[in-house]
Amino acid sequence: MTNQFDQPYEEHDEIVGVTVVREDLRQLLVVAALSQLDEQARTGKRNARLQLAMDRIGAAATDTEWQPKKP
């Protein structure tokens, strides 16, 4: 059964606001990667929507604003 949460984000979808710290992003990516591995083992494919979210989070996590600041 497919629901709206299993679908990839649409181009017009917008994240309104999220506040997380760098370590939260890392932990989210680790959990998401493990979830993807479980999904692939169970169904033979990965969740496209989760993969897109991981890609977006990964891109944000490498942005200079998320990098450690020099004292």
Asked if residue 69 is part of any domain, the answer here is no
Asked if residue 41 is part of any domain, the answer here is yes
Tell me the average pLDDT of the chain: 76
Centre a 10 Å sphere on the Cβ of residue 66 and count the other Cβ atoms it contains: 13
What's the whole-model pTM score? 0.54
The structural domain count of the chain equals 1
Asked if residue 36 is part of any domain, the answer here is yes
**Which pLDDT score, from 0 to 100, does residue 33 have?**
92
pLDDT in tens, 12-60: 766 666 566 667 777 888 899 999 999 999 999 999 998 988 888 777 6
Asked if residue 2 is part of any domain, the answer here is no
Structure tokens that stand for 70 in this block: 């020099």
For 45, 47, 66, the CA distances from 37, given in Å and listed in that order, are: 9, 10, 26
Asked if residue 29 is part of any domain, the answer here is yes
